[in-house]
Structure 1
């Protein structure tokens, strides 16, 4: 077996943990089960992670990385609503392609809140969601040449709550038509709080981003 770097070993263990959590549930996932799935010795886990909490955080981050990809540019002449909707649908397609992983994220939250000493893991989980949501909306504004009329921290929390609720509801009822309609309504809301970035502002932001 080739010798892996610490980063590659962490990657291996995170992916193994996700598979075990999908198969057995978060509460029944142990470090021994994870290393058995990864086919590595127990010592490899302690070399890569300081605690099970750190592994849970890494699992959360990995699932989010796969789902919330950077916003995409859209053809010139596309309306703000159409552009925002197109980017939200990229997100939604990724949710629908990996439903088991998203179910795991909700299990992780409840598990952490119920375990003594793991409540911080849940706070870190949603702190990561909020930071990711903030970065995504900020990137979307730059890519689409718009600015938000609502302060970014408030909009990010609102958006995170909307998508979180939409995802959980869909995991329960798997109603694609209703979910798409709700997602499109959220896109309309975002378009209503977006305004075109004026040319001077846009030039300054592009220069700052070089």
Structure 2
């Protein structure tokens, strides 16, 4: 395991600072995480255009050499920042989803809607509490696309990686919801994930403009209804008894 020996001034993404003189040796993955958090703190306040290796080093309380050792160039750091923001949102969704219990009450299309709603609405508290981070995700994407347009393909790959990560997380969530509810997607799940993420992008961007949380939550509820219509009841014998009482399906359709 690789270690570095520079004292750490930890700077969190929420701007808190703490100096621990005992933290003289850090594993590489811990140091990388600390540098990513410092970069997020810098860019949340000043925007992506202000990001430099030097100001990340200053925010983290380390030398330029330490940052260069862990990140060869700024594009690599931006990629990791984008992924960190995405996984933060995904973790909030998984946490909200995991709090739902009672599988017998969560079967069929009605159960799917409840599961989708819990996960998607579970995103909102963290989105609402971190507008700077949400804006930052759009800035990272826009910066990457602008650089790609200028011929910097490696920078353009940041946006591609960002959305592939989101696709992977969304597909995993949708598959989990379908499995738990005992339904089958009637449309390829990767297409549903792509649509859902595009809609979520729009909802969050509009909220950043007008900060109308009520309207945003209504839009998310509409999104849940649309996604649920892309599923069909699993009619296999294993699920027949559990789904027979699904109030969302008319008697003639069960």
Out of 73, 88, 91, which is 2:120 matched to? 88
2:232 partner SS: strand
Matching residue of 2:14: none
Matching residue of 2:130: 98
Matching residue of 1:133: 170
Out of 86, 96, 105, which is 1:77 matched to? 105
Q: 1:195-206 counterparts in 2 under 5 A?
A: 195-198=232-235
What's the CA shift string for 1:182-205, capped at 9, x where partnerless? Answer: 110111112222234455678xxx
Matching residue of 1:41: 63
Matching residue of 2:231: 194
Runs of 4+ in structure 1 deviating by more than 6 angstroms, as ranges, are none
Whole-Å Cα distance in 2 between the matches of residues 182 and 167 of structure 1? 10
Moved more, 87-96 or 136-145: 136-145
Unaligned runs of 5+ in 2: 1-6, 8-23, 240-254
Out of 86, 100, 115, which is 1:64 matched to? 86
Moved more, 57-66 or 44-53: 44-53
> What displacement does 1:89 show?
0.8
Which structure's residues are more often strand, by fraction?
A: 2
The structure, 1 or 2, with the larger RCO (C-alpha pairs under 8 Å, 6+ apart) is: 1
**8 Å CA contact retained: 1:74, 1:144:** no
What's the CA shift string for 1:72-94, capped at 9, x where partnerless? Answer: 34434243322221221112222
What's the CA shift string for 1:126-160, capped at 9, x where partnerless? Answer: 22222222222122222333321111121111111
Matching residue of 1:205: none
What's the CA shift string for 1:47-104, capped at 9, x where partnerless? Answer: 2112211111111111111111224344342433222212211122221122211100
Moved more, 155-164 or 191-200: 191-200
> What displacement does 1:13 show?
0.5
Is 1:162 paired with 2:190? no
Is 1:22 paired with 2:44? yes
The structure with more radius of gyration: 2
Whole-Å Cα distance in 2 between the matches of residues 92 and 199 of structure 1? 35
**8 Å CA contact retained: 1:60, 1:105:** yes
Matching residue of 1:145: 182
- Structure 1 residues 145, 21: closer, same or farther in 2, change over 3 A? same
With structure 1 as the length reference, what TM-score do the two structures score? 0.88
What RMSD, in angstroms, separates the aligned Cα atoms of the two structures?
1.8
Whole-Å Cα distance in 2 between the matches of residues 200 and 91 of structure 1? 35
Moved more, 145-154 or 175-184: 145-154
Whole-Å Cα distance in 2 between the matches of residues 141 and 51 of structure 1? 41
Unaligned runs of 5+ in 1: 203-210
> What displacement does 1:163 show?
0.7
**8 Å CA contact retained: 1:74, 1:83:** no
Which structure's residues are more often helix, by fraction?
A: 1
